[in-house]
Amino acid sequence: MLFTKKKPEVTETKETSTSSLIGGQIQVAVDQLKGVVEQMNITSLSLEEISKSTAAKTSRLFSHSEQTMNFSQRASEKMKKIEASALHISSFSQEILSNSQTSYDELQNSFESFQLLQKKFEALSQSHNLLLEQMQQLVEYSNKIQDIVFTIGAISQKTKILALNASIEAARAGERGKGFSVVAKEVGNLANQTSKAVEETRETIQIIQTEIKSTAEKVKTETVQVHEGSNEMNKILIALQSFKEKLNIITKMVQESSESVDEQRDNVVDISNLLQEIAQMAIENKEYVDQVTKDLKAQHKNIEDIRSINQSLTKTSAELQTLVHQNSQSIQYDETLLNQMKTMLSAKVQLKELLNLEEKVHKQILDEILYSNPQLETIWTNRDDGTFIYSNPPAGLVNAKMRPWFIEAMSGKEYVSEPYISAVTKKYCITLSFPIMNEGEVIGVLGADVSLKHN
């Protein structure tokens, strides 16, 4: 413990003791007021920064809201045009689908007609083939008739010779051969008639054969033409079948496309409605942002008023601190013991474990230091933003970044305060603070209050 001594005075009275007590209470109140002022200053600065940032962002939000409203309205107008185009496309798709179905039906009728015509070609080809066979048989029959006629002609020729011989023999016979002469004459006449008939028949048969041959040639030509026509018809049918299948596919695709266009049209209508709602919401948001901007301006005015009050309190606190400081200059303490505390804490702040800014780790180290050094009243650590990592007893501040001991330590220097009355114990103490360094960079602060006791 650091024992303190008062400077010698001429007289010590009960009134002086009472005055000292009041002065100590005033110092505590001043310290508490200073903490409140510092906290108000931190809070007001934070509020001012937030207010400025919010005002800037609100301004951007207002601009974005206007742009959103304009874009939404423009998008809504575009969607209406797209909707009209979708309706036209849907109408065209329906018309194309109707024409495709009609074309498919007409093609199906044409295909069936061509199939019927193909069957007639096949029947005609078969009839021509049968006719050729029959004409071939006629040629064969005419050839046989010609052979028979030739045989009859030969017989007729022999009959004529026989009739001539019979006439000669009848003439030789005289009266006895007259009857036989008449018969021979008639046989000769019959042979002549037969020969003539055979000749006429031969000529007729030749004419018939010539006509049959000519007709057969024509039938053959027609058969070839019918066969070629049948082949061409078959090709047409194959092409029509392929075209029908493709047209069927196209019709299905057009139908699916028409259904997709209808669905797209419905989606476009929904999107158009949503865009109209978004545009309306953008208009409302613009009004809300405008109201928020007005509220922020009013809040900024309130923050300025708070900062004005804070400045007045800071001035009053500084004046009170000056008066209290004049009173605390009469306090004497053992600097050797204080230096021992500084040396001990300077060594502790070098512990690598403190580089881990976790409350659990710091609690273990700080509690051990506090309980092994009774002259320490309070010990704590802070992060570089002023918040407390751990404090024993618990800190009365939320943030210490405005305190001199924190500012000095964060600049990389050790700090030793003037003697003052602790707000916790209501007794005199001195605050020590040290920077927590990591590779030359200050990452936190170790602080402690050293208790002072009178003799």
pLDDT digits (tens, 9 = 90+) for 70-116: 777 777 777 777 777 777 777 777 787 777 778 778 778 877 877 78
What is the predicted pLDDT for the residue at 432? 96
| pLDDT range class, residue 178, cuts 50, 70, 90 | low
Global pTM reads 0.41
d(CA 201, CA 153): 10
Is 260 within 8 Å of 47 (Cβ atoms)? no
d(CA 194, CA 184): 15
Average pLDDT over residues 135-156: 80
| pLDDT range class, residue 354, cuts 50, 70, 90 | very high
Domains of the chain by start residue, with CATH: 22-331 (1.10.287.950), 333-455 (3.30.450.20)
pLDDT digits (tens, 9 = 90+) for 325-341: 555 555 677 788 889 99
Which residue bears the tokens 């020590």? Answer: 432
d(CA 248, CA 259): 16
d(CA 27, CA 21): 10
What is the predicted pLDDT for the residue at 305? 65
Average pLDDT over residues 164-172: 76
CA–centroid distance for 290 within its chain: 35
Q: Which residue has the higher pLDDT, 3 or 371?
A: 371
Residue 423 in this model has a pLDDT that exceeds 70: no
User: Mean pLDDT of all residues in the chain?
Assistant: 77
| Residue 182 token pair | 């008449």
What is the predicted pLDDT for the residue at 15? 45
| pLDDT range class, residue 164, cuts 50, 70, 90 | confident
Average pLDDT over residues 148-168: 79
Q: Give first-to-last CA distance, the chain, whole Å.
A: 11
Q: What is the 3 state secondary structure string of the chain? A: CEEEEECCCCCCCHHHHHHHHHHHHHHHHHHHHHHHHHHHHHHHHHHHHHHHHHHHHHHHHHHHHHHHHHHHHHHHHHHHHHHHHHHHHHHHHHHHHHHHHHHHHHHHHHHHHHHHHHHHHHHHHHHHHHHHHHHHHHHHHHHHHHHHHHHHHHHHHHHHHHHHHHHHHHHHHHHHHHHHHHHHHHHHHHHHHHHHHHHHHHHHHHHHHHHHHHHHHHHHHHHHHHHHHHHHHHHHHHHHHHHHHHHHHHHHHHHHHHHHHHHHHHHHHHHHHHHHHHHHHHHHHHHHHHHHHHHHHHHHHHHHHHHHHHHHHHHHHHHHHHHHHHHHCCEECCHHHHHHHHHHHHHHCCCHHHHCCCHHHHHHHHHHHHHCCCCEEEEEEEECCCEEEEEECCCCCCECCCCHHHHHHHCCCCEECCCEECCCCCCEEEEEEEEEEECCEEEEEEEEEEEEEEC
What is the predicted pLDDT for the residue at 13? 43
d(CA 185, CA 401): 171
pLDDT digits (tens, 9 = 90+) for 188-210: 777 778 778 778 877 887 888 78
What is the predicted pLDDT for the residue at 52? 72
pLDDT digits (tens, 9 = 90+) for 1-39: 444 433 433 334 444 445 455 555 555 555 656 666 666
What is the predicted pLDDT for the residue at 11? 37
